[in-house]
Amino acid sequence: MTADHLFGTNLVAMVTPMNPDGSISTQGVNSLVDHLITTGADGLVVAGTTGESPTLTDAETTALIRAVATQARGRAKVIAGIGTYDTATTIRRAVEAEAAGADALLLVTPYYSKPTQAGVIAHCRAVADATTLPVMLYDVPHRTGLALAPATITDLATHPHIHAIKDAKGDLAEAMTLMSTLAYYCGIDDLNLPYLAAGATGLVSVTANLTATPNADLIHAIRTGDLDTARAIHRSQIPVTAALTAASQGAANSKAALAELRIIPHRSVRLPLLEGQPG
């Protein structure tokens, strides 16, 4: 089965709607899931960094995955963020995500502890062994402090459950040399066009909380060889991307915009984030 079928192509790094008291908004979750699918998303990444995963308890994360899977009802793939800096905890979260109805897992590089590349390989293989779900690696060194080396990616690509990588490293030259080993998904909205043009399978987008439709159109334009349309779409989204990802506050700014459009009821976030502005 191809990565398109395992994960989708137009993925959203979904925010976690919350009430003013900090609890998760069931109404907001259901409304947002419907909005994202209706506007063209075929993959929902739940409890990732944009979903404020560091502030969610294990019970909240499991309940959120289950709620999204129930609301999506097979209309889009549900990819659960389960990575931590502790292998045992990550394995437990992977097993819980599978039981909650996730279709796939997003596995971020262990952060803060900065293991060796051999340690990263052992960590990722242990997590991938723990369930039957397909795994998407997540390479985001500006947040984790640790990049996946090309040799590490090549090694992990041989695991039968590891099929894809969300690349937020931004090294397009490196990515192009590795796209034959794993399905690449662009994790930096500013680079969606060049990654897709270079052969990436799809996008994992923060701005797609608001822009799933133009992202779907961009993917279609690239796949049909219509580069003029692809460039026009990308240019039209530059101001939106700048507004939503300013100061790396994609979660807060996206929530503010979604609340302004009444797609979710509140713009609430949990500290240390502060509420954003719609831009």
Q: Which domains does the chain have, with CATH numbers?
A: 3-260 (3.20.20.70)
Q: In which band, very low, low, confident or very high, does the pLDDT at 260 lie, cut at 50, 70 and 90? A: very high
Do 51 and 14 touch, CB atoms closer than 8 A? yes
Indicate the pTM of the whole model. Answer: 0.96
Q: In which band, very low, low, confident or very high, does the pLDDT at 249 lie, cut at 50, 70 and 90? A: confident
- Of residues 85, 114, 166, 255, which has the active-site annotation? 166
Q: Average pLDDT, whole number, for the chain?
A: 96
Alpha carbons within 13 angstroms on the beta-carbon side of residue 38 total 9
Exposure string over 224-239, b if 16+ CB within 10 A, otherwise e: eeeeeebeebbeebee
What local confidence, expressed as pLDDT, does residue 276 receive? Answer: 82
What local confidence, expressed as pLDDT, does residue 80 receive? Answer: 98
What local confidence, expressed as pLDDT, does residue 3 receive? Answer: 84
Q: Helix, strand, coil proportions of the chain in percent (round to 5)?
A: 50, 15, 35
Residue 171: how many other CB atoms lie within 10 Å = 14
What local confidence, expressed as pLDDT, does residue 1 receive? Answer: 76
Axis crossing angle, helix 87-100 with helix 58-72, rounded to the nearest 10: 30
Do 109 and 74 touch, CB atoms closer than 8 A? no
Overall average pLDDT of the 17-45 stretch = 98
Report d(CA 120, CA 57) in Å as an integer: 24
Q: In which band, very low, low, confident or very high, does the pLDDT at 245 lie, cut at 50, 70 and 90? A: confident
Overall average pLDDT of the 29-39 stretch = 98
* Segment 134-156, tens digit of pLDDT: 999 999 999 999 999 999 999 99
What local confidence, expressed as pLDDT, does residue 279 receive? Answer: 53
The answer to whether 85 is a known catalytic residue is: no
What local confidence, expressed as pLDDT, does residue 109 receive? Answer: 96
Report d(CA 48, CA 84) in Å as an integer: 11
Q: Is the pLDDT of residue 248 over 70?
A: no
148 class by beta-carbon count within 10 Å (0-12 exposed, 13-18 middle, 19+ buried): buried
The answer to whether 166 is a known catalytic residue is: yes
Three-state SS at 13: strand
pLDDT > 90: what percent of the chain? 94
Q: Is the pLDDT of residue 278 over 90?
A: no
